Amino acid sequence: MNLARLTEWKGQRVLIEATRQLIERGGYDDVLVVLAGDDQGREAYRQSLELQIAESELIEHVRIVGHCSDVPAALAIADASVVASIEAEAFGRAAVEAQAAGVPIIVSNIGAVPETVLVPPIVKAEERTGWHFENGNAEELCDLMAQALDMSEEDRAKLTKRAHDHVERSFTKQAMCSATLNVYRELLPTDS
């Protein structure tokens, strides 16, 4: 699942290429990648994605479905979620939403998005909440997609529980407001 408006910098081309490589490996014939997002008038870009899908012989494996009005429902049917942005994002809500929904998440390693997904060496391997891949690297993304899809149910449950707990600790309104207020307290002089 890729929940992002259709625009070049959201990295849909990288995800399509990673999907082509995954199918080419064999053993992933039942994979279906859903690109859920509005083109917001970027018809030429959408058409170029459709052409890439056709030329890559992925018509049965990649679907562009348009705007997604029910993100929780979309994530409920996803085996994994990918944020493939090739330019920095300010926050990257899609990665946090996937973790909150219990969906394994793979994100490119630029901007603020990687800060929301915990990976080694930032945390211990047993504290991982998803994966980072080198921005624009379809081969690495392909490897991580395979890893996410091949996880045992037990490993998947552990990962998604850690990810959900991480979101609850760090990204609720209360947690973010508390963190902001703590910064203000640190900045205020203690003698006032």
Q: Which amino acid is at 26?
A: G
Average pLDDT over residues 160-167: 96
CATH of the domain at 138: 3.40.50.2000
Query: What mean pLDDT is predicted for residues 51-61?
Result: 98
Please give the residue range of the domain that contains residue 132: 2-187
pLDDT at res. 90:
87
Number of structural domains in the chain: 1
Q: How confident is the model at residue 92 (pLDDT cuts 50, 70, 90)?
A: confident
Within a domain: residue 13? yes
Alpha helices in the chain (DSSP H): 12-25, 43-55, 71-76, 93-100, 113-116, 138-149, 153-170, 173-187
- 88 pLDDT higher than 70: yes
Q: Percent of the chain at pLDDT above 70?
A: 99
Tell me whether residue 37 is in a domain.
yes
Whether 192 maps to a domain, the answer reads: no
SS (H, E, C) 64-129: EEECCCCHHHHHHCCCCEEECCCCCCCCCHHHHHHHHCCCCEEEECCCCHHHHCCCCCCCCHHHCC
Under a CB-based contact definition with an 8 Å cutoff, are residues 85 and 110 in contact?
A: yes
* Per-residue model confidence (pLDDT) at position 191: 66
Amino acid 192: pLDDT: 54
pLDDT of residue 69: 95
**21: in domain:** yes
**pLDDT digits over 143-156, tens only?**
999 999 999 999 99
Question: Average pLDDT over the chain, rounded to whole?
Answer: 95
Helix (H) or strand (E) holding 125: none
pTM over cut 0.85: yes
